[in-house]
A and B are shown apart, each in its own frame.
Chain A
Amino acid sequence: MTGHDHIHDHHHGNGHEHRHAAPASPMAERVKSLEALLVAKKLVDPDSLNALIDTYEHKVGPRNGAKVVARAWVDPAYKERLMRGATAAIAEFGFTGRQGEDMVVVENTPAVHNMVVCTLCSCYPWPVLGLPPVWYKSAPYRSRAVMDPRGVLREFGTFIGDDVEVRVWDSTAELRYLVLPERPAGTEGFSEERLAEMVTRDSMIGVTRVKAPESAP
């Protein structure tokens, strides 16, 4: 958590209090009570709840998106399919379904930097990135990403030159956006698997870049 103080030395507690507003035990009790009621009424099966949580905690996450990005970096024909019809190209990996039914991929280049937000709620491409991080759903990000994208990017340690166009995608409808980050220099000859390991969640939201490796192999 560096790089905040020079920008917002006032209000430092604001977003943090919000995100740590738990585990208020009244809320835990309220959820427990609702779950017990729904199970007793046979409206919800507790095994389904466990399966849902397991899916998004352990099975579906940004490693999926990283595989898509790495493939696009090494395979021009795949990248062409991905840019032309993202949903089908992503489905080649078996990544489909809820909150990724209709996908769009936007490509970062030396001239254009893309980033994604949902100012109205928390829309996010689950099949490729899993559930959104807390900051993505938070008021500080949602309020400023569209108004001051370069300032937001600086908070993530990402500095964009004045000559580079910044494109912010506010996913207000049912399209879900994935950023194709730039492949870092110095990765020539890397395997697809090794490239995928370098790709971070935040680079696919577009708030950071994929970092070049510390040293050549």
Chain B
Amino acid sequence: MNGAHDMGGMHGMGPIDTDPDDPLFHAEWEKRAFAITLALGFHGRWNIDTSRHARENRHPVDYLSSSYYELWLKGVERLAVDSGMISPEELVTGKPADVATTPPPDPARVAAILAKGASAKLDADVPARFQAGARVRALDITTSGHTRVPRYCRGRIGTIDRDHGVYVFPDTHAHGLGKKPQHCYSVRFNGRDLWGNAAPGNDAIYVDLWDDYLEAAP
């Protein structure tokens, strides 16, 4: 989707607060919102692409005026309701209508779950469409659904820097349409090919893009 989350190349956002001692959390509720999101995710009722889409798919004014963990809270509320884990009524009233039949993982297992992770890399025998060094164009994809092609590189030509292997494809995975295994590459774009000739000639921007986002370029 062409949402407010896709920020690369926007102007007017102001200076960066570069203070290295700025705390990771600015309020206790931010810690809870973060932890609730991860803990509820342990049930496996959604995947990382679904959850990103839940945070991104909102009115641009809402997105831009919400702090980071506000977006996480709004995202996890939506995921919990959309997945049927809680009802809209329960969310509004805060009163449980019933108790879950599947218990959450034992708290003693949390460290092991985090240390294991969940790689999106797939052991699938899918041929690569491109080799390192190939010239490719990022397709000019416009979709109202989830995608990971930043707007700033759509339609632009770059070079395959390396093939990362076969990965879950987020555009389908976010919407329950399967993993659609395919190669994901690091594509190198020259800064001038993205931002015009005023950009320095020796800036390069590397974007990780899947086969379905690319076509061969002359």
Residues of B within 8 Å of A166, CB to CB, are 200, 202-204
Tell me the residues in window 157-198 of chain B with beta carbons closer than 8 Å to chain A beta carbons: 164, 167-168, 170, 184, 186, 194-195
Q: Give 4 new A-B contacts, CB below 8 A, not counting A96-B115, A149-B203.
A: A22-B69, A40-B99, A170-B206, A201-B20
* Other-chain contact of A45, B32, B39, B204 (Cβ < 8 Å): B39
| B205, CB-defined interface residue at 8 Å | yes
Please give the number of chain A residues whose Cβ is less than 8 angstroms from any Cβ of chain B in the complex.
100
Are A175 and B114 interface neighbours, CB within 8 A? no
Q: Which residues of B contact A170 (CB under 8 A)?
A: 8, 150, 205-208
A48 at the interface (CB under 8 A from B): yes
Q: Which of A10-18, A63-71, A73-81, A183-191 has 4 or more CB atoms under 8 Å from chain B?
A: A10-18
Q: Determine whether the beta carbon of B32 is less than 8 Å from that of A173.
A: no
Residue B130 interfacial (CB < 8 Å):
no
Asked if A101 and B120 make an inter-chain contact with CB atoms under 8 angstroms apart, the answer reads yes
A165 to B202, CA, bound (A): 5
A to B contact number (C-beta, < 8 Å):
315
| A216 is an interface residue with CB less than 8 A from chain B | no
Contact B204 A174 (CB under 8 A): no
A139→B29 contact, CB < 8 A:
no
Binding site for B on A (CB under 8 A): 1, 3-4, 7-8, 11-16, 18-23, 27-28, 30-38, 40-45, 47-53, 55-57, 60, 94, 96-102, 104, 117, 119-122, 130-135, 137-147, 149-150, 152, 155-157, 162-175, 200-202, 207
Interface residues on B, range: 35 or more
Q: B5 and A57: CB pair below 8 A?
A: no
Q: Give B contacts to A, CB under 8 Å.
A: 5-20, 22, 24-36, 38-40, 42-43, 48, 52, 55-56, 64-70, 73, 76-77, 80, 85-86, 90-91, 94-96, 98-100, 103-107, 110-111, 113-121, 148-150, 152, 164, 167-168, 170, 184, 186, 194-195, 200, 202-210
Q: Do B55 and A121 touch (CB < 8 A)?
A: yes
The 8 closest A-B pairs by CB, nearest first: A14-B14, A173-B208, A119-B8, A23-B27, A47-B107, A97-B117, A101-B119, A174-B120
| A117 CB to nearest B CB, Å | 8
Nearest-CB residue, chain A, relative to B207: A170
